[in-house]
C-alpha cells in the first residue's frame, strides 16, 4: 500500500514517527503551516518556521525515503494576533518556493472579522501564485463554519477544484460535496473522525475528490491512521485500486495542480524495514 498523507504536522512528531510511517507505506506527505502551541510574538518567528518547513523537515523525511512538501500561510488562529498580521507581507516570497504546493492552512478558527480578512487575502494570493488552497474548518460550530467557508471561497473567484476543505465529518461532507471543492478528512484515534466512519462516508459519497489524512498534530493523534483507513476500506470490500486512489492518486492530483509536486524517484514498492536508513548508519 503506497500512501501520500496530504495533511500532517511533522514538526510536532518525532523521528521515530517517520520510521514507522515509512514502514507502513507512507512515501510522500504535505505538511501545512499551522501554529506552534506557544503563540508567536513576531514575524521573524514565522520566517524561521517556514524555512524549516522547506528545509529541515524535507531533509528529515528524506532520510526515511519520504518525500516532503509544504503549504505556507498565516493560520486562522494567529490571524487574530496583531503581532502576526505582517506575516501576510512575507508570504509571496515563500509561495514561489519549489517545495510549496499550496496556500494553507487558511480559513476559520473562531470566525472573527480578522480571520475573514486573512482568509480572503490568502485566497487571493493562491489565485495570484496559481496554487491550490488548503482550508481548515473550525472544530466548534462546524456546520456554520463550513457554510461560511464555502461562501468566502465562492466570492474569491478561485476554481473550487483547486480548494480542499479539510476536517470534515458526517455533518459537513454533504455541504462540500456539491461545491466542487475537494473534501478532506482528518482521522483521529478517538475523536472527531475514525477510520470506520471514514469508510461509511466513502461508501455514501464515492471516492472522487476525497482526501484522507492523519493530521497528526500537538493533540492526541496517530500518523499511521491513513494506513488504518486503507485497511478498513479493504475489510469493507473496497479493492486495492480504490485504496490507491484515495491514499495516493487523489492527493497527487490535488497538489499536482501546483505543478511543483516532485515524486521522482519515490520508490513506492520499497520497504524500509531493515534498510540501512533505519539502522541509523549515516
CB of 31 to Zn ion, least distance (A): 9
Across-strand partners of 182? 164
136 vs 148, beta carbon nearer Zn ion:
136
Listed ranges 26-34, 54-62, 72-80, 112-120: which one lies at the site for Zn ion (CB under 5 A): 26-34
Nearest Cα residue to 28 out of 64, 54, 52: 64
Query: One symbol per residue from 27 to 66: x for binding Zn ion (CB under 5 A), - otherwise; what is it?
Result: -------x--------------------------------
Inter-residue contact 244 to 231 (CB < 8 Å)? no
CB of 34 to Zn ion, least distance (A): 5
34 vs 254, beta carbon nearer Zn ion:
34
Residues 214-273 that bind Zn ion (CB under 5 A): none
The site for Zn ion, by CB under 5 A, has a size of 1
CB of 135 to Zn ion, least distance (A): 11
1 vs 53, beta carbon nearer Zn ion:
53
Longest Cα–Cα distance of the chain, Å, equals 53
19 vs 105, beta carbon nearer Zn ion:
105
* Burial of residue 205 (number of CB atoms within 10 Å: 0-12, 13-18, 19+): middle
CB of 33 to Zn ion, least distance (A): 9
Inter-residue contact 55 to 93 (CB < 8 Å)? no
CB of 86 to Zn ion, least distance (A): 22
CB of 110 to Zn ion, least distance (A): 16
9 vs 162, beta carbon nearer Zn ion:
9
Helical H segments across 142-246, by residue range: 142-156, 173-177, 195-205, 225-235, 240-244
CA dist., res. 237 & res. 216, Å (int): 27
Nearest Cα residue to 222 out of 2, 28, 8, 26: 8
β strands within 37-189, DSSP E: 67-72, 100-107, 133-136, 163-166, 182-186
Radius of gyration of the chain (CA): 18
135 vs 210, beta carbon nearer Zn ion:
135
Which residues are near Zn ion by CB under 5 A?
34
Amino acid at each position: 500500500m503506497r500512501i501520500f498523507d496530504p495533511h500532517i504536522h511533522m514538526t510536532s512528531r518525532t523521528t521515530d514517527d517517520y520510521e514507522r510511517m515509512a514502514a507502513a507505506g507512507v512515501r510522500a506527505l504535505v505538511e501545512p503551516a499551522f501554529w506552534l502551541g506557544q503563540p508567536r510574538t513576531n514575524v521573524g518567528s514565522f520566517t524561521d518556521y517556514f524555512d524549516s518547513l522547506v528545509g529541515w523537515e524535507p531533509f528529515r523525511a528524506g532520510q526515511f525515503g519520504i518525500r516532503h512538501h509544504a503549504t505556507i500561510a498565516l493560520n486562522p488562529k494567529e490571524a487574530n494576533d496583531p503581532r502576526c498580521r505582517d506575516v501576510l507581507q512575507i508570504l509571496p516570497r515563500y509561495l514561489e518556493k519549489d517545495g510549496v504546493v499550496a496556500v494553507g492552512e487558511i480559513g476559520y478558527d473562531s470566525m472573527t472579522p480578522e480571520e475573514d480578512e486573512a482568509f480572503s487575502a490568502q485566497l487571493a494570493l493562491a489565485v495570484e501564485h496559481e496554487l491550490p488552497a488548503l482550508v481548515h474548518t473550525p472544530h466548534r460550530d462546524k456546520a456554520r463554519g463550513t457554510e461560511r467557508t464555502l461562501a468566502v471561497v465562492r466570492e474569491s473567484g478561485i476554481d473550487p477544484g483547486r480548494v480542499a476543505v479539510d476536517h470534515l465529518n458526517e455533518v459537513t461532507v454533504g455541504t462540500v460535496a456539491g461545491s466542487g471543492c475537494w473534501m478532506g478528512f482528518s482521522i483521529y484515534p478517538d475523536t472527531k473522525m475514525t477510520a470506520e466512519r471514514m469508510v461509511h462516508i466513502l461508501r455514501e459519497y464515492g471516492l472522487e475528490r476525497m482526501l484522507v489524512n492523519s493530521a497528526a498534530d500537538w493533540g492526541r493523534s496517530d500518523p499511521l491512521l491513513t494506513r488504518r483507513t486503507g485497511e478498513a476500506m479493504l475489510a469493507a470490500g473496497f479493492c486495492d485500486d480504490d485504496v490507491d486512489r484515495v491514499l495516493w492518486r487523489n492527493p497527487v492530483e490535488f497538489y499536482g495542480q501546483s505543478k511543483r509536486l516532485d515524486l521522482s524517484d519515490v520508490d513506492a514498492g520499497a520497504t524500509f524495514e531493515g534498510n540501512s536508513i533505519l539502522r541509523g548508519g549515516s
